[in-house]
Amino acid sequence: MFKGIKWLFIGVMATVLLMATVTAGSATELTMYYPVAVGGPLTSVVDGIVDDFMKKNPDITVKAIYAGNYNDARIKALAALKSGQPAQLSVMFSIDIYEMIEQDAIVAFDDVVETAEEKAWLDSFYPALMENGRTAGKTWGIPFQRSTIVMYYNKDAFRAAGLDPDKPPATWDELVAMGKKLTKPDGSQWGAMIPSTGYPYWMFGALTMQNGQVLMNENGDTTYFDHPSVVEALQFWKDMGEKHRIMPKGTIEWGTLRQNFLEGKTAIMWHSTGNLTAVKENAKFDFGVAMLPASKRRGTPTGGGNFYIFKKTSSAERKAAMRLIKFMTSPENSAEWSMKTGYMGVSPAAYETQKLKDYVKGFPYAAVARDQLQYATAELSTYQTGRVRKGLDDAIQATLTGSKTPEAALKEAQAQADRLLKQYR
């Protein structure tokens, strides 16, 4: 009994002492929110890098707060901002940029960087990953946890259908032709599946890019939903189910698609690179990963989270935040992060590090996302992004379930987007 109390007392004293030293030793204190979208042990990875940073920079204390998914992180950051106790920096969805600018919540990195070296650092990342972080001639977000869509395919199913397992479809025509061979008439195996719930606009961004058209302009105030190439892309998506019959009709659930693929119900799936580790660990068959096929060109949107620095910060805090961001996106740490999570390394230099080179040598599929980056474009992001995105999601689902034609659905989505965005032009 007394022993318990004694230990409790020692514990409390130790904690107090520890806190005292921490506060005394730090000149700058940073609070950082970060989301984890794919679950799993990623929080410990982030916390590990942050601890490492504090060890090397004893004058800065970082409080890294796990804030749920992307939506939660944005809500928490904005709520903290309104309550007057904001964080200094945060990882948030890359497409939140316009909302953050409109709320006057973030500061552009161009206004924070000072030296020529730091300015060069802004250009050290993959340009495709910067697209979602740049608007109005300024850089607002630095890429951190970023992904793209890739094509997973079942090599055993390819062999069984008499196809070359090392030649995944590279064009839409090949996708349809191979899909027909891979689809079994009794419905036990489909040729391909592209998920159309959860993030339909994201998958659609890949199809439209492949058809040579982006979905919005750089300023985030104009969308091109009713462009003929976009309509054609949606028609193709619909045709895969209804005309070519290589994909189930109706919408395809994002959450259960990986299971469908692992159970052999579909020979090909389009999904986030974030699934790479899970597929690698759970596939009972020989699988491959490839770039998405091309219509007029190859293409995929990027996805994921960027670093933002908030406006309500002192210049000392901004400098400290810059040091933290530079540390976390450094080639070494980015490589480490990529290997542990399946997210991409954010700069070419990350792939030049020895450890990531070795990793890619042993597991070449880890580099597919990087190789595809040269064809990548920004993820759909505009002012009023939630509503604009929902309008497009609804149009896609209405088309796939057969209640509207692609032209009518997309025209409606475009009209709605125009109404919402007019005030920003």
Residue 7, classed as helix, strand or coil, is: helix
Beta-bridged to residue 269, according to DSSP, are 152, 193
Nearest distance from C-beta of residue 140 to other proteins, angstroms: 14
Residues 6 or more apart whose Cβ sits within 8 Å of residue 264? 154, 157, 189, 285
Nearest distance from C-beta of residue 313 to other proteins, angstroms: 16
Nearer to other proteins, 293 or 406 (CB): 406
99 binds other proteins (CB under 8 A): yes
Candidate list 16, 403, 422, 425; residue touching other proteins; CB under 8 A:
403
171 binds other proteins (CB under 8 A): no
Nearest distance from C-beta of residue 103 to other proteins, angstroms: 6
Nearer to other proteins, 4 or 187 (CB): 187
Cα distance between residue 251 and residue 363, in whole Å: 33
Residue 39: CB atoms within 10 A of its CB come to 9
Only segment of 57-65, 151-159, 335-343, 380-388 that touches other proteins (CB under 8 A): 380-388
219 binds other proteins (CB under 8 A): no
Residue 24, classed as helix, strand or coil, is: helix
First to last CA, the chain: 72
250 binds other proteins (CB under 8 A): yes
Q: What share of the chain is helix, strand, coil (3-state, %, to 5)?
A: 55, 15, 30
SS (H, E, C) 95-144: HHHHHHHHCCCEECHHHCCCCHHHHHHHCCCCHHHHHHHEECCEECCEEE
Nearer to other proteins, 40 or 127 (CB): 40
Place of tokens 């590090």: 353
Under 8 Å between Cβ of 413 and 391: yes
393 binds other proteins (CB under 8 A): yes
176 binds other proteins (CB under 8 A): no
Contact flags string 258-287 toward other proteins, x per CB under 8 A: -xx--x-x----------------------
Under 8 Å between Cβ of 209 and 299: yes
Candidate list 248, 340, 405, 411; residue touching other proteins; CB under 8 A:
248
Candidate list 255, 281, 315, 362; residue touching other proteins; CB under 8 A:
255
Which of 96, 77, 78, 104 has its CA nearest to residue 141? 96
Cα distance between residue 54 and residue 59, in whole Å: 8
Only segment of 123-131, 145-153, 177-185, 244-252 that touches other proteins (CB under 8 A): 244-252
394 binds other proteins (CB under 8 A): yes
228 binds other proteins (CB under 8 A): no
How far is the CA of 342 from the CAs of 141, 145, 198, 333, 393, in angstroms? Answer: 21, 9, 20, 13, 26
Nearer to other proteins, 167 or 390 (CB): 390
As given in the structure block, the two tokens for residue 241 are: 């189910």
251 binds other proteins (CB under 8 A): yes
Candidate list 208, 272, 384, 414; residue touching other proteins; CB under 8 A:
384
Candidate list 26, 71, 171, 217; residue touching other proteins; CB under 8 A:
71
Under 8 Å between Cβ of 413 and 394: yes
Cα distance between residue 385 and residue 281, in whole Å: 35
364 binds other proteins (CB under 8 A): no
Under 8 Å between Cβ of 182 and 267: yes
Contact flags string 103-122 toward other proteins, x per CB under 8 A: xxx-----------------
Nearer to other proteins, 304 or 331 (CB): 304
75 binds other proteins (CB under 8 A): yes
Nearer to other proteins, 195 or 345 (CB): 195
Candidate list 4, 185, 187, 362; residue touching other proteins; CB under 8 A:
187
As given in the structure block, the two tokens for residue 342 are: 């399946």
Which residue type occupies 300? T
DSSP 330: S
197 binds other proteins (CB under 8 A): yes
Residues that bind other proteins (CB under 8 A): 71, 75, 78, 99, 102-105, 187-188, 196-198, 248-253, 255-256, 259-260, 263, 265, 384, 386-387, 390, 393-395, 397-398, 400-401, 403
